[in-house]
């Protein structure tokens, strides 16, 4: 037998041995594409229903209220259509219901590390199959970058009426103080692939956390921060 053949034999053996090693399962391309699509749907609605209104210079308080009232339900609608959980999260959250779990936190810390090292966040994506209790799950995460319009509600100089509203509704807010271009959190997908090795039950929708009634969060009612003194009309 020639040396070439015997080397090929060793390589084949090594490949078989590698294939027998217990290796983490690779996520299905279809799940990754569906997760990306969910992120794009959220981006689209955020742009159309919120950011474009700020660009048109509509009253930022009205836009804020529209966002706080509707953004969580967009996530729910996207989840129901895709039949997996789509959510948003961040390392410091505004809404405690969006707090990350350990896996999301670790991925976001890695994203921040890579961004600090000068890599382009547009290329960041995490996709893995994990065992969580008796569930085998597909997890996916993509960072979101804070743009100019995000600063209205997440920047360092948020205007007083919006600050008041945020203080009423999100007293533990950690979602402000960002500057443009920083990573502002992530879109997250979690899909149950099997339970105890068997097909999962049909996707069940989750309830949204309760919200403050609209009448309880008028900017004028909250005297948490003293507004700037107004000039008396002449
Ligand atoms: C009009 C105000 C407003 C604008 C503009 C805005 N946000 Fe938010 N953002 C909020 C509010 C309010 C919440 C909490 C929503 C909730 O209850 O889930 C939030 C939540 C988030 C969250 C989820 C994590 C958390 O902190 O609860 C992310 C991520 C996020 N915003 C990113 C962005 C990005 C990126 C932009 C710009 C492309 C943006 N936001 C623009 C008000 C705003």
Q: Is residue 16 part of a domain?
A: no
Better-scored residue on pLDDT, 46 or 68: 46
Residue 10 lies in a domain: no
Compute the distance between CA of residue 166 and CA of residue 173 in angstroms, rounded to an integer.
7
Domain assignment present for residue 222? The answer is no
Tokens of 46: 């955020």
Q: List all residues 6 or more positions away from 130 whose beta carbon is below 8 Å from its beta carbon.
A: 103, 136, 137, 139
Determine which residue's CA is closest to atom 43 belonging to ligand 1.
153
In this structure, is residue 227 part of a structural domain? no
d(CA 113, CA 100): 17
**Where is average pLDDT lowest: 115-124, 133-142, 171-180, 204-213?**
204-213
Predicted local distance difference test score (pLDDT) of residue 175: 95
Q: Which pLDDT band, with edges at 50, 70 and 90, does 226 fall under? A: very low
Given a contact cutoff of 8 angstroms between Cβ atoms, the answer to whether 24 and 129 are in contact is yes
pLDDT (average), residues 110-117: 97
User: From the alpha carbon of 89, which atom of ligand 1 is closest?
Assistant: 24
Please tell me the predicted confidence (pLDDT) of residue 12: 54
Span from the CA of 79 to the centroid of ligand 1 (angstroms): 18
Q: How far apart are CA 75 and CA 43, in angstroms?
A: 11
Closest approach atom of ligand 1 to CA 63:
1
Instruction: Give the global pTM.
Output: 0.83
CB 233 within 8 A of CB 169: no
Q: How confident is the model at residue 210 (pLDDT cuts 50, 70, 90)?
A: low
Query: How many C-beta neighbours within 10 Å does residue 81 have?
Result: 13
Cα 72 to ligand 1 centre (Å): 10
pLDDT, average across residues 94-121: 95
Tell me how far the alpha carbon of residue 230 lies from the centroid of ligand 1, in angstroms.
29
Q: How far is the CA of 114 from the centre of ligand 1 (A)?
A: 23
Residue 176 domain flag: yes
Residue 207, in any domain of the structure: no
Distance CA 93, CA 185 (A): 8
Q: What residues make up the domain containing 165?
A: 24-197
| Best mutation site among 88, 159, 170 for ligand 1 pocket (most ligand atoms within 8 Å of CB) | 88
**Is residue 189 a part of any domain in this protein?**
yes
% of the chain exceeding 90 in pLDDT: 64
d(CA 127, CA 83): 17
How many folded domains does the chain comprise? 1
Give me ligand 1 centre to Cα 76, in Å.
Answer: 15
Give the pLDDT band (50/70/90) at residue 169: confident
Domain for residue 234, yes or no?
no
């Amino acid at each position: 037998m020639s040396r070439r053949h015997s080397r090929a034999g060793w390589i084949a053996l090594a490949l078989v041995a590698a294939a027998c090693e217990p290796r983490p399962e690779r996520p299905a391309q279809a799940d990754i594409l569906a997760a990306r699509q969910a992120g794009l749907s959220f981006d689209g609605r955020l742009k159309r229903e919120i950011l474009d209104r700020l660009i048109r210079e509509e009253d930022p308080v009205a836009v804020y209220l529209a966002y706080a009232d509707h953004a969580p339900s967009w996530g729910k609608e996207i989840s129901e259509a895709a039949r997996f959980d789509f959510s948003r999260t961040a390392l410091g959250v505004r809404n405690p219901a969006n707090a990350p779990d350990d896996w999301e936190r670790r991925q976001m810390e890695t994203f921040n590390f890579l961004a600090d090292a000068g890599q382009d966040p547009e290329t960041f994506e995490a996709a893995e199959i994990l065992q969580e209790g008796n569930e085998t799950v597909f997890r996916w995460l993509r960072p979101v970058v804070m743009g100019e319009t995000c600063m209205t509600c997440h920047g360092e100089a948020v205007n007083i009426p919006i600050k008041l509203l945020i203080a009423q509704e999100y007293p533990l807010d950690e979602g402000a103080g960002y500057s443009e271009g920083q990573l502002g959190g992530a879109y997250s997908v979690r899909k149950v692939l099997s339970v105890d090795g068997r097909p999962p039950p049909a996707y069940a929708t989750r309830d949204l956390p309760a919200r403050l009634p609209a009448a309880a969060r008028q900017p004028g009612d909250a005297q948490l921060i003293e507004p700037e003194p107004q000039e008396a009309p002449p």
